[in-house]
Amino acid sequence: MDFYNFRLLLLILTAIGCRSGDSLLPPNISGVIGRNVTFPTVLPASISGVASLSWTFKSPTQPQPSPVYTRLNDNEKVASGYVGRILCNKTTFALQLGPLTSMDGGTYSLSVITLDMVTLTAETILEVLEAVADVKVIYSPREPVEINSTVVLTCVAQGSSLSYNWMNGSAPVVADGQHVTLNRSQLIISSVFRGDLLGPIYCIAQNKLESARSPVFNLTVSYGPEKVAMTRVPTDEVLKKGSNMTLSCTAQSSPVADLLWLLNGVLLPMKGSTLYLSGLTEEQSGNYTCMAYNNITRRYTVSQVTTVSIIEAISGTNISGPASLLIAGNSTANLTCKALAGKADRVVWFKDGKSLETTPRVILNGDKSTVSILEVQKEDAGKYSCHLINSVNTDIDNYVMVINYGPENVKITGVKQVEVVDTVVMTCLAASVPAPTYVWKFNGTVLDTTTAEYKINKPDYRNSGIYTCEAYNPITGLTNIATHSLLVKGEGELHDQLSDGAIAAIVITVLIILAVIIAFIIHKKRKVTEFSFLHPTLPSESQDGAPIGQCTFPHHIKEKPWENDPYWHLTVVLHMRSTLCRAFSGNSCIHLTLDLFKGVVLCPWTSDRYLVDFEGRMLEAMMWLYPASLAGTNEAEVNQQVSLLLSGVSEPLLDRMCM
């Protein structure tokens, strides 16, 4: 039976008894192009069996139904357009069609004739959908800028009847209507922030049957630069000339900012995150700034300013002093401190390790580079230090100032009494710079010794006398003199003397007894031999060779013990007043040493009137003074111009020596 006749028979049978079978098929079925679709059937349980069934199709472009599949008893018939694409379940009569094409969409009808000659009919509409594929996200603008840009993300996909969902990670994107807006396939972000599109963001395209998701999408939003920070190594604000410096700069920016360097507002040729400067010079002092530039956002941001001063270290410090010699009281000294290289911020002076104090004589100029010392004194001598100080170092120079002075405080040290078996050492001491030269004299006669020490081995009586030391400073041109009296005694004579305390006690006792005796004599005799030392009878003018003053003592001479020993030395100490010797003013004391035949030592008068009486024996002495010849002379010369005549001496006085 051909398909036409089979179809005709089916129509006749259908016309015999027909009822609706809406429950046999769902009203709508969807399928995807390229895939299979099944038309499910639900047959009533009351059906005893099926005599025949048929599937037909009609579309908007083909309003007349056309057969798809027919079955009569065990005979099946598939329309030519469906061969190889149709599979009908013999039990449930469900029809599987595929792979679908876009032309398969339309209305499919099922007609079933049961063995009871009951006809069941139903129809369903097949919607053929395009497969969801090639889902992706496109966006604009290509280089969004934070705050400035509104970003539009569009979900693009192949397929029909699509709907879209946006996801950020595992959470759906929620629209707030202002910052984030959803418009079907578009996700719109106004005034985008840098973190809005970090993702992972993706979109899902779907229809009734399937869905597909786009690849993960991340969009970088350009921002910055901001938080530009600069560091410097070393961190010192002042660096030594010739040292090295490294500046580093960081900035938050997307994309990475270009880092530029400025010195005092002028762009440097160097770029990058690190600026390394070696061998710094003073010209590189100033304010350094790092500027970050984002070529997408077109924004500039600068760092904080770092200031560095490049200073040359001080070197070659030198103190220049006076070219001529300095003499205490006569010279002015100027010390000037300068450096060969570098500039000092401060100048500090020290003397002998202590801070130099200014006085009316010690003056610092305005910048303290020069110390002026007016009328230098010996105390100004010492080590002067100049400290030149700046921010990178301190340089020092020292200057030793020598002040020439003296001689001062000239004195002779040594014993005044020695025995003939001793060694005499006399030392002349003088404060002087430079050390003085020395001239020694004995009783006015120049000696051969020119050192500070004069030594006599085994002296004899002739070495008794006045020793003079003349200290001479060849720089200052000054001379100062000291004298020293020396008495030489026989061996053992010094050890036989009483102690100073005993002598003092004896002298006091003798004076008391003497006072009692004198009082008794005055009381008994009323006539006493005495002399006036201060007020002798003097002629108004001296004659050539004649003395102008004379003192005479009563005397009783029984013997002359000095005749056998003509080499004794006599030391005379005279207290003279101006009334007696007009060559001297005020109280004066002249130490005289004279070579006599046999002499004694006359103790000085201690009052204006003095009575000489030793153990009842009287001493007569005559002293001749020539004051006119003494005028303008020194002590050494006086020694040679005083005459002393002794007419007699009592024997107990021979051993008495008085200085």
Residue 441's CATH number: 2.60.40.10
* Phi and psi angles of residue 629, each rounded to the nearest 5 degrees, phi first: -80, -10
Q: In terms of residue numbers, what domain contains 63? A: 3-129
The pLDDT of residue 270 is 94
Same domain, residue pair 294 and 347: no
Strand 326-327 versus strand 403-413 pairing type: parallel
Q: Note whether residue 568 is domain-resident.
A: yes
- State residue 48's pLDDT score: 73
What whole-number distance in Å separates Cα of residue 209 and Cα of residue 226?
50
> 289: which 2 tokens?
């700034």
Locate 34 and state its tokens.
């390229």
For residue 544, give both structure tokens.
């050539």
- What length does the chain have? 659
Residue type, 594: L
What is the Cα–Cα distance from 579 to 548, expressed in whole angstroms?
Answer: 11
Q: Which of 600, 603, 568 is nearest to 589 (CA)?
A: 603
Residue 252 counted as domain residue = yes
Partners of residue 380 on adjacent β-strands:
none
- 558, part of any domain: yes
Residue listed under structure tokens 């039990």: 91
In order, the DSSP letters of 567-613 are -EEEEEEEEE-TTT-TTS-SSEEEEEEEEESS--PPPPP-SSEE---
Q: How far is Cα of residue 625 from the mean position of the Cα atoms in its chain? A: 82
> Which token pair is 447?
């000696």
What pLDDT is attached to residue 472? 97
The answer to whether the CB of 197 falls within 8 A of the CB of 137 is no
Domain end call among 489, 519, 542: 489
Please give the pLDDT value at position 45.
Answer: 76
Q: Percentage helix, strand, coil, to 5, in the chain? A: 10, 45, 45
Q: Is residue 659 part of a domain?
A: no
| Domain match, 344 and 285 both | no
pLDDT by 10-residue block (mean), the chain, 659 residues: 44 43 79 91 80 89 89 87 89 88 91 86 91 92 92 92 91 90 92 88 91 90 95 94 96 96 96 96 96 95 96 96 94 96 96 96 95 96 97 96 96 94 95 96 94 93 94 96 94 69 67 76 44 32 36 34 36 33 32 33 33 32 35 40 33 31
- With respect to residue 238, please indicate whether it lies within any of the assigned structural domains: yes
Residues 419, 391 share a domain: no
Q: Is residue 507 part of a domain?
A: no
Give yes or no for a cis peptide into 200 (omega within 30° of 0). yes
Structural domains of the chain, count: 6
Do 452 and 376 sit in the same domain of this protein? no
Question: Are both 537 and 627 inside the same structural domain?
Answer: yes
pLDDT, position 512:
84
Report the distance separating Cα 642 and Cα 573, nearest Å.
12
Answer yes or no: are the C-beta atoms of 477 and 329 closer than 8 Å: no
Q: Which of 76, 111, 129 is the last residue of a domain?
A: 129
Look at residue 592 and tell me if it is in a domain: yes
- Per the DSSP assignment, residues forming a β-bridge with 201 are 168, 217
